[in-house]
Structure 1
Amino acid sequence: MARPSEVPARSLPVVNRQPIAVALRALRQTLLGPDAPPGRPLLARWPRLARHAAPVGLLAALGLFWITVAVESDWGLPTPIAVLFAAMTVAPLLALPRRPLLAWRLTVLALLVCTFNAPADTPGPWTPPLALGSIAVVAVVVARVDRPVLVWVVAITTVPVFTLVRAENRAAVLALLGALAIVGDLIRRNRMSRRALAEQTELSEREHERRAVLEERTRIARELHDVVAHHMSLIAVQAETAPYRLTDVPAPVAAEFTAIAGSARDALTDMRRLLGVLRSESTGPQTAPQPDLADLETMVEAARRAGLPVTLDAEQVQVERVPTPVGLAAYRIVQEGLANAARHAGGAAVRVTVRAGRSSLGVRVQNAPPDSTDARPGTEAGAGHGLTGMRERAVSLGGTFTAGTLPDGGYAVAVELPYDVEDADR
């Protein structure tokens, strides 16, 4: 005889309570929980028709109300009861656009209550307006709620069907409910997939815009690095050679020149490290000289050969008096302005104006209205980030930037880049 402690213990089956909790939570939401969020209006694509949807719907509901009263009266019900049944028939349809679950609850209540004195030749105990309205309510609800709630909606709707519909018509009504549930679930999943795809597309576009802005900023930083590094190299060289070009230089002055040269080279080293961080792996070292105002004519001539009618007005501009960073920024702004004109206003005449004042350089790129017969495909407005790059170039030098549409339909970009006259003379 085995001892009680030696009897093997039987393992109890593990019950997964998660599906039960999900089902109970869905049942609570179906009967008493918050309603489904409102969906997109049916006539959202046709705003003119959407403005008349509310009055037309109220007139249709009023007509359906009187039709139900007439049918119930023909079935021998007293007028007060007929009016009550008609109100219960129309109320779910009025609540359906914004409160689909509430409309379904009212529909189930109407299906259980409005069942008196139906003729023997009718397939069910309900009036035609109530039967058709119930089908419409169920069709909308199953397309708007989650799958667990959908299962409870269909299951509870079958209760009046089994209870009140005649046996010969019961299978057809149940098949209709099943078809509505399947189609509604497919519509809901399709809508969720499209919404997720739209959100992902919007996120990708915003990421693309952010990367484009960062790349343009990096490009500006690299160009500024090249310009500043050139000046820092000149400072270092001049500070080192100054004591040899002067006679009887005191030791403290020579030490100060040496310190200036060392500080310049340290700053140049730090800038090279910064450039290493900014430059991506795919971008090799840029050894070509940076363009300047002297290269504007060459760029404009290349644009003319490409078919863009460009006029350059840069008379009396002393290129040597314009600092290198300002000249580089002006060149890049004109370059981007010509690219935008060719992209968005194909065939339109473009005029580039460059004016150098005593303390600032003015640049203006203006194009005529685009020729619709010469429009280029795939050039939607706002597709690029050229304006952002031009604005950041101007702001980085303390200048101003304006851009906008002209009264005649053209477009103009105007930039004012300040500079120090004394530095320019040196």
Structure 2
Amino acid sequence: MRDETTAARPRRRWWLPAALADEFEPDPARPGRVRRTTRDWVVDVCCFLVVCLFAAADAASVGREHDLPGWFAVLDQVLGWLACGAVWLRRRWPLGLAVAVVAVGTVSNTAGGAVLVVLFSLAVHRPFRYVAWVGGAQLALIPLFYWLRPDPGTSFGASVAFGLILILSVIGWGMFVRAKRELVRSLRDRARRAETEARLRAAQAQRAAREEIAREMHDVLAHRLTLLSVHAGALEFRPDAPRADVARAAGVIRASAHEALQDLREIIGVLRTGGDEEAGRPQPTLAALPELVAECRAAGMRVELDQQVADPERAPAGLGRTAYRIAQEALTNARKHAPGALVTVTLTGAPGGDLTLAVCNPAPPGEVPEVPGSGQGLIGLGERALLAGGTLLSGPTDDGGFEVFARLPWA
């Protein structure tokens, strides 16, 4: 049984060379006739009229060849006018038509104009290897043609030289047109690729900005909402707590809710205006880390800060913001998963070296209330450290605690 792909493939005519098979076999990808544009019709009509003028002039010269047999003169004109009519097929079968018309032009002087047009079309529509074979054959046949049918008014050498120059000029013109079209096509493709790449870069930039804003939203709001959850949970589990503790927890909840709403408004404002994360109030720096620790202490956490940076104000804004967000997220995780444990924040570094930040807490002293989380906090910290050119390691310690260690380059 034959393979379906083999049965579906059209068979090439055995008597056609491989180079000409595509000219006469239908193309499955482009069924039907190629539709001409208005410009194509104008060009084809002009080519046909020019070929007819050449044929009329050559037919008159054939009549002046007195030693030419009458039947051969009639054959010359019949083949010449058929070649003129075949010019309409030059777009569909440029190679096959060129081979046929060149062969006809060997015996028909009337087909001279058609030979020029089909050679020009071949040079425009087909690669150079086809033009070289067909054009070379035509150049080789020119001396033979003028030897068999010399021009009475011109010498043999002048006739051959004129014919060679005319054929080479037509082929060169066609190759120039082909090269110009390919150049224009390549420039258009390059422009389309440039537009596509520009759109992709813009989309990537927008996606990166959205990811950065999402990361900021997570880091900022998670800190505030964790305070709300922890203190609300404490009030739920200890309804008989002293009035002072209840009032302090309520104050923390109110302040945290206010700050969370303020941060949310700023982030929504950035999204609406299309700005970046720098919009809104000033971003935190490395010098604001003691304020973060003080805020956590005010919320009831036990935090120790060991800051061994001589002048944190000199830290670059990006470096300080990254370190602040890492410490903020690490303290948020410690508040959720190790309430009541002593959290140690160690910060060391100097310009020209690395800034190291370590946030470590032991195992929680008591029962840990269940606080929902997305699990994306540590992933966001790793992305922040990577974008800053540093590294971040996190994991449990031997005593059952947890540690976050970041190393950031300080240029």
Bigger Rg, which one: 2
TMscore range, shorter length: 0.3 to 0.5
Q: Please, what TM-score do these two structures have when normalized by structure 1?
A: 0.43
Q: TM-score, normalised by structure 2?
A: 0.44
